[in-house]
Structure 1
Amino acid sequence: MSGFELLDPAIQHHIVNSLGWPGLRPLQEDSIPTIVDGDDALLLAPTAGGKTEAAMFPVLTRMQAQRWTGTSVLYVCPLKALLNNLGPRLGDYAAWVGRSVAVWHGDVGQSARRRITRERPDILLTTPESVESILVSESVDALQFLGSVQAVVVDEVHAFAGDDRGWHLLAVIARLESLIGRRLQRIGMSATVGNPDELLEWLRGGAPTKGRVVAPPVPTASNPEIVVDAVGSAENAAKVIAGLHHGEKRLVFVDSRRLAEELGTSLRDRGVTTFLSHSSLSAEQRRESEAAFADARDCVIVATSTLELGIDVGDLDRVIQINSPRTVSSFLQRLGRTGRRPGTTRHCLFLALDDASLAQTLGMLHCWASGWVEPVVATPEPRHIAAQQLLAAALQTRRVPLNGWQQQWGTLPLFGDEGQEILDHLLDTGFLDHDAGSAFIGVEAEKHFGRRHFMELLAVFTAAPEFRVFQGRNEIGMVDIGLLTEDVEDVRVLLLGGRSWLVTHIDWKRRQVYVEATDIHGMARWQSIPDGLSYEITRGVRSVLLGDTPAGVTLSRRAVAALDGYRAQRADDVRADSLVIERDSRGDWRWWTWAGVKANRTLAAWARDLVPGRQRIGAESIRLHSDLTVDAIKQGLGDVQHSSERPAPAVDRRAIKGLKFSVALPEDLARRTLAVRMMEAKRAEGLLNERISFRFGSE
């Protein structure tokens, strides 16, 4: 029997007659038996590969066959905008079998929430933070509302798994299972990842139940068209975008909010209909931009990763990438935005703003062309999330037993060997009080996290302080506090939403800024510390500098000329048969490792007698002490190679304060959590075994 034949008859009817599909895609066909049987599953397909239907058609079938009642499915997404986007489509599918859907997240008002809890939709589209807010709520009976849940569907699961939000998601699911007394079916959906089996095991949280990766081969009708150009500046990028592809819908990806604002302004100045989407614009501003872009034709939308995931902005003609995304996975997500219409090809135009960005773009494409995609690895040793979960459990149950307290999280390996130490610290410091064998929320927890019904405790991700910007009553977005505190000669003008705004008043207490439109050019800036390049992509850059060009990639004449010049400039930093340790013209030693930031940071910690303590560790090299001799460097690296003592990187106290919930941890545990996340020991170990050539600046 085919997968299609296993579906509920009403769903079969609507697939043929309402959707007009001649049949199911391979992923949709293959997923049905596993999900209908109630097993866990990880569904893998490129962007626009039909993953939502592959999950929900069999889930709805199981819902009908087993006569589920009440809210029986949680559909979890990493972005509120994605939930809003999916709501109508899933609502249509559910209606085929007489079922209902509702959306619940931080932007949903209290009246709507009361209606949802009263009517109890069959499928609830939500975020992990919202599920936890329901669990700890004093106004919602969590057991009554969520007691009928049978399955959890996690969209874009890779976006959770590589981040602390992933541990939070699994912990919340485990506590829900403990509350209702049964295990839930877990279904994850993801774009291509490098380690699907490990990702499925992570999603299952250590449970011994059955699970399956569903990833049928994807037919490739034609190779994507990848073009790389070197434009030299953001201003030149705007000229290229404005001058090419008239009449087309173009999605331009950038990797900073500041660049999004500046490029958007330059395009508008050139008469291009331009919309913006990034995380510091208000939800209303983003919705208006995305809706207008979806309905328009000859236009551009400039976006950060907010449009990388599955938010629908209509049919696209072209994707343009400024510089390079930091991962192959991000590139695949963005490339998948194009070529969705029959007879069209997927394509992406890269515009490199400088020579280093050109090399990084080609290094990333070198990895892509070789078939490599990043594995999704859970963040190691999430002790701060363990502390958060203990406090959240105390809010939920009002009392946590001092014995057997870990049972609420079942088989989830969240607490490691330090769980009892974390609990003892919370008790000793007053975050938890205890009496009669139970712990409950203490004064310190109320002081640090209690504002607005413990909202700070329920939000796992953190960001630098930002101020909300208003034009009258209309919220435009958020700006960094630094733009409001730095000295200005005359007036203070902000760039937000691709427009300039004159600041008329700042309410420091409420963190609100009031503005009016102006023709004076404004400024945009946000604090952010991007992840450093990986070992694989940095090695890809090295291969490009040594002469490789990624297969399937076309370089413009400008890109060829810029690459030739950059290869000549960097010729002394790379050798095919060895790594280079070079003494430059200033007498400084530099070890060109081409190992990525984490491996270099690890090496710098291990070889601290060779490496100056105060330096910014990059992906390509490490600076060594200038007074070392060649023999001293060789001896020092040999000592590191044979040493059993491998110290972790130093962690600044200010960095500990940036680790959310670190205040609820012993300082040494917080420090160790950060240190292990800064390291890549296996790669660093491998570097110590690589051949090294010494070069002097006079050569």
Structure 2
Amino acid sequence: MHPTLAYHVTNTLGWSQLRPLQVAAGEAIQHGEDMLLLAPTAGGKTEAAAFPILTMMEEQRWSGLTVLYICPLKALLNNLHPRLERYAAWLGRDVAVWHGDISTSRKQAILRNPPDILLTTPESLEAMLISTKVDQRRLMRDLRVVVVDEVHAFARDDRGWHLLAVLERLHRLAGRPLQRVGLSATVGNPQDLLSWLQGSGVGRRAQVVSPEDGQSAAQPDLELDHVGTVSNAAKLIAALHRGEKRLVFCDSKQMVEELSALLREHGVTTFLSHASLSAQERHRAEEAFEQTRDCVIVSTSTLELGIDIGDLDRVIQINAPWSVASFLQRLGRTGRRSNTPRNCLLLALDHDDLLSAAGLLQLWGTGYVEPTQPPPQPRHIVAQQLLALALQEGRVGDQLWSDWWNGLEPFEDAQEIVEFLVSAGFLERDGGMLFVGTKAEQRFGRQHFRDLVAVFTAPPEFAVLHKNAEIGRMDPGLLTAQSAGPRLLLLAGRTWQVDWVDWKRRRCFVDPVEGTGGEARWPSSAFGGTSFRLARAMRDVVLGADPPVRLTQRARRGLERIRGEYGDLVHAGGTVVVREEGDVVWWTWAGHRANATLRATLGPLSDPAQRTDALNLRLRNDLDAQTWRRAVQNLPVLLPEVDQRALNGLKFSAALPADLALDTLRSRMADAVSAAHVLGEPARFLMR
């Protein structure tokens, strides 16, 4: 470590030693290796990357913008900025942050005098690259290192593919490979994640650093309870752990609002955080929560990532997240003080929720963590990148465009997409050069091609304002539904009465009212659903396995009831087919994606009207055991069919041939490996 840094780490921060992660990372980063640093929340990952990078910056006399620090959330950037600014200032270096909330004047100042380190998001990087007001080559010519925080969060959806493609373009602008350092919570396949992060640089020296530090290895304090309703959950949270700082995770914005309102009725100091609250509202809540002792903050997954909200005493989870990885991230919010264990109280609502929570804890108890798997076939991202490159460069050679992505896998066979973009008018070709066509300007060109910057589609929402201050955003369906009296909304944990609606500008003006009765609603968000491994862990619970945590008497009674209800629908050696009240149901315990794949594979043997369930499939009601076994023998696995309307959720699908867009969605809905495994298992028939 540079001597000045070492001095301040000892005397300003008061650290007597570095953590094992920070020691292990320092030397490898300074040797120029690509790296993945794994540690729980508050595990010191930021410093493990920042200190050796600052040391290199000073010893090798880097100048200009040499380091990009990329985060998935603006709030995380804002949270990290003062900390990194402090560290850099010890060496006379400067740090700036750039995202959509930063003023134009501040951005112009950054362009005039680039900082040593820039904190930003992939969307803001894309906006810089396609902007006519930014000299991209001048700004990026000194780049050497890219730090990607919460890299696992990027890798699990299309933002990760977008990020990798943008990094390859930066590689070309800088004229050198960029050292890549990823920071991540625990994942099941760290080496695969590191190779993915390397992009076209696979084969460069790289290593995963994940030393145990004792604290993370300590057994956490976990308890599962069955409370029945959100109201009961509020009563229990209000009664427990008074005087402590508690973070409660919910699986929907609506539940966050409802639980927060109930907690306030019980006299609990309560704050909220979810994506449809305004940035100012979330920041005020998180700041107040950090400074208050006896309080609760209720959140969706927005606080799962590494935003610092101070020292927590307790984490409470309503129901369960969909993955062990997410559970570990939330659990890691606690236990930051020495000699205090990580802890989590899980409160299951109905019996299905109890089974899911018990299954998740059972899976966690085996030491399993899901592999992070980027979504397959990101063809729509390829189309978006081709259009973005044409904007960035003005025009690009129709035989040279692939050079910008250095052989990155999604771009290896993209000529069909290029030809479609030209034939559909998204790109135009002239003299061997490609440039943005009129169709792209019509479809994506509003507000300087803002629609081309983000790769996700946000549902339409109305801004909710009180005295011109935005509180948050709400589903417009709440403003059009019939209402017997004054229209009341529940937002930021308070009830508001709608004053008037500006339909043209999508704004709703409200006034606060006393009492309750407000309604909260948002479009349901897409999720991967129950995985094969989680569904099988739920089956293990039904078969009698108790998760290795404390179970309250209510939870034990609930599990006993579940085992009584499902006892005939499981067996350890395979699957069960039962006839009940005229229906034939195949209990696969295979998860949503595997069951969707099985339904497509079975074709006319399955009931096409059934919505995909995680645990079972409804079959043709005249099936018997002999017919079934003959039909499924050597049956080839097929991908699920996709409704044409589903393409609305795949941004840039209009820039793809219809068959490629549909095939992309089908591949993402499938779990062919698990489906094939289930088809090969013996099926027990119970025809009642």
Shorter-chain-normalised TM-score: which range?
A: over 0.9
| Equivalent in 676, 682, 692 of residue 683 of structure 2 | 692
Map of 1:579 onto structure 2: 575
| Equivalent in 306, 310, 315 of residue 310 of structure 1 | 306
Map of 2:99 onto structure 1: 105
Q: Find the aligned partners of 1:618 and 1:530 in 2 and give their Cα distance.
A: 13
SS of the counterpart of 2:404?
Answer: helix
| Equivalent in 341, 344, 362 of residue 340 of structure 2 | 344
Please report how far the alpha carbon of residue 182 of structure 1 lies from its aligned counterpart in structure 2 after TM superposition.
1.1
Map of 1:679 onto structure 2: 670
SS of the counterpart of 2:527?
Answer: coil
Q: Find the aligned partners of 1:414 and 1:629 in 2 and give their Cα distance.
A: 45
Map of 1:39 onto structure 2: 33
SS of the counterpart of 1:259?
Answer: helix
State the Cα deviation string for residues 542-588 of structure 1 (Å, max 9, x = none).
1011110122x00011111111111111112112333110111x210
| Equivalent in 621, 624, 631 of residue 626 of structure 1 | 621
1:533 corresponds to 2:530: yes
State the Cα deviation string for residues 114-160 of structure 1 (Å, max 9, x = none).
11112211100000111111111111111112221110000000000
| Equivalent in 651, 657, 668 of residue 642 of structure 2 | 651
Please report how far the alpha carbon of residue 609 of structure 1 lies from its aligned counterpart in structure 2 after TM superposition.
2.1
1:263 corresponds to 2:259: yes
Q: Find the aligned partners of 1:46 and 1:144 in 2 and give their Cα distance.
A: 37
- Structure 1 spans left out of the alignment, 5+ residues: 1-6
- 8 Å Cα contact 2:249/2:301 also seen in 1: yes
Map of 1:411 onto structure 2: 407
Map of 1:21 onto structure 2: 15
Q: Find the aligned partners of 2:166 and 2:572 in 1 and give their Cα distance.
A: 49
- 8 Å Cα contact 1:609/1:636 also seen in 2: no
Q: Give the partner amino acid of 1:659.
A: L
Please report how far the alpha carbon of residue 68 of structure 1 lies from its aligned counterpart in structure 2 after TM superposition.
0.6
Map 1:36-115; keep pairs closer than 5 Å.
Answer: 36-115=30-109
1:592 corresponds to 2:587: yes
Map of 2:167 onto structure 1: 173
- 8 Å Cα contact 2:140/2:173 also seen in 1: no
SS of the counterpart of 1:301?
Answer: strand
- 8 Å Cα contact 1:194/1:376 also seen in 2: yes
| Equivalent in 496, 508, 529 of residue 513 of structure 1 | 508
1:602 corresponds to 2:597: yes
Map 1:267-278; keep pairs closer than 5 Å.
Answer: 267-278=263-274
**310-319 vs 629-638, greater mean Cα deviation:** 629-638
Q: Find the aligned partners of 1:273 and 1:566 in 2 and give their Cα distance.
A: 36
Q: Give the partner amino acid of 2:79.
A: N
Percent identity over paired residues: 54
Q: Give the partner amino acid of 1:694.
A: F
Q: Find the aligned partners of 2:487 and 2:568 in 1 and give their Cα distance.
A: 46
SS of the counterpart of 2:474?
Answer: strand
Map of 2:211 onto structure 1: 216
Q: Give the partner amino acid of 1:295.
A: Q
Q: Give the partner amino acid of 2:641.
A: A
1:567 corresponds to 2:558: no
Q: Find the aligned partners of 2:647 and 2:574 in 1 and give their Cα distance.
A: 38
Q: Find the aligned partners of 2:451 and 2:284 in 1 and give their Cα distance.
A: 29
Map of 1:183 onto structure 2: 177
- 8 Å Cα contact 1:318/1:347 also seen in 2: yes
Q: TM-score, normalised by structure 1?
A: 0.97
- 8 Å Cα contact 2:466/2:510 also seen in 1: yes
Q: State the superposition RMSD in angstroms.
A: 1.1
- 8 Å Cα contact 1:532/1:618 also seen in 2: no
- 8 Å Cα contact 2:289/2:296 also seen in 1: yes
Map of 1:290 onto structure 2: 286
State the Cα deviation string for residues 379-422 of structure 1 (Å, max 9, x = none).
100000000000000110010211121001113112243x1110
- 8 Å Cα contact 2:639/2:672 also seen in 1: no
Please report how far the alpha carbon of residue 40 of structure 1 lies from its aligned counterpart in structure 2 after TM superposition.
0.6
Please report how far the alpha carbon of residue 424 of structure 1 lies from its aligned counterpart in structure 2 after TM superposition.
0.5
Please report how far the alpha carbon of residue 8 of structure 1 lies from its aligned counterpart in structure 2 after TM superposition.
0.8
SS of the counterpart of 1:12?
Answer: helix
Map 1:156-555; keep pairs closer than 5 Å.
Answer: 156-207=150-201, 208-220=203-215, 222-417=218-413, 419-519=414-514, 520-528=516-524, 529-551=526-548, 553-555=549-551
- 8 Å Cα contact 2:471/2:491 also seen in 1: yes
Q: Find the aligned partners of 1:396 and 1:511 in 2 and give their Cα distance.
A: 32
State the Cα deviation string for residues 468-509 of structure 1 (Å, max 9, x = none).
111111100011122122222232211110111111222222
**280-289 vs 561-570, greater mean Cα deviation:** 561-570
State the Cα deviation string for residues 580-627 of structure 1 (Å, max 9, x = none).
10111x210111101111111111111112112121111101110112
Q: Find the aligned partners of 2:403 and 2:109 in 1 and give their Cα distance.
A: 33
- 8 Å Cα contact 1:72/1:122 also seen in 2: yes
SS of the counterpart of 1:183?
Answer: coil
SS of the counterpart of 1:582?
Answer: strand
Q: Find the aligned partners of 1:593 and 1:392 in 2 and give their Cα distance.
A: 44
Q: Find the aligned partners of 2:482 and 2:537 in 1 and give their Cα distance.
A: 42
- 8 Å Cα contact 2:69/2:146 also seen in 1: yes
1:670 corresponds to 2:664: no
Please report how far the alpha carbon of residue 631 of structure 1 lies from its aligned counterpart in structure 2 after TM superposition.
2.0
Please report how far the alpha carbon of residue 427 of structure 1 lies from its aligned counterpart in structure 2 after TM superposition.
0.4
Q: Find the aligned partners of 2:295 and 2:425 in 1 and give their Cα distance.
A: 56
Please report how far the alpha carbon of residue 301 of structure 1 lies from its aligned counterpart in structure 2 after TM superposition.
0.3
Map of 1:4 onto structure 2: none
Map of 1:134 onto structure 2: 128
- 8 Å Cα contact 1:45/1:218 also seen in 2: no
1:144 corresponds to 2:141: no
Q: Find the aligned partners of 1:179 and 1:340 in 2 and give their Cα distance.
A: 41
- 8 Å Cα contact 1:73/1:124 also seen in 2: yes
Map of 1:155 onto structure 2: 149
Q: Find the aligned partners of 1:189 and 1:471 in 2 and give their Cα distance.
A: 39
Q: Find the aligned partners of 1:355 and 1:129 in 2 and give their Cα distance.
A: 41
Q: Find the aligned partners of 1:313 and 1:154 in 2 and give their Cα distance.
A: 21
Q: Find the aligned partners of 2:528 and 2:504 in 1 and give their Cα distance.
A: 32
- 8 Å Cα contact 1:394/1:439 also seen in 2: yes
Q: Find the aligned partners of 2:500 and 2:442 in 1 and give their Cα distance.
A: 30
Q: Find the aligned partners of 1:231 and 1:303 in 2 and give their Cα distance.
A: 19
Q: Find the aligned partners of 1:294 and 1:166 in 2 and give their Cα distance.
A: 31
Please report how far the alpha carbon of residue 11 of structure 1 lies from its aligned counterpart in structure 2 after TM superposition.
1.0
- 8 Å Cα contact 1:103/1:125 also seen in 2: yes
SS of the counterpart of 2:605?
Answer: coil
Q: Give the partner amino acid of 2:539.
A: R
- Structure 2 spans left out of the alignment, 5+ residues: none
- 8 Å Cα contact 2:19/2:213 also seen in 1: no
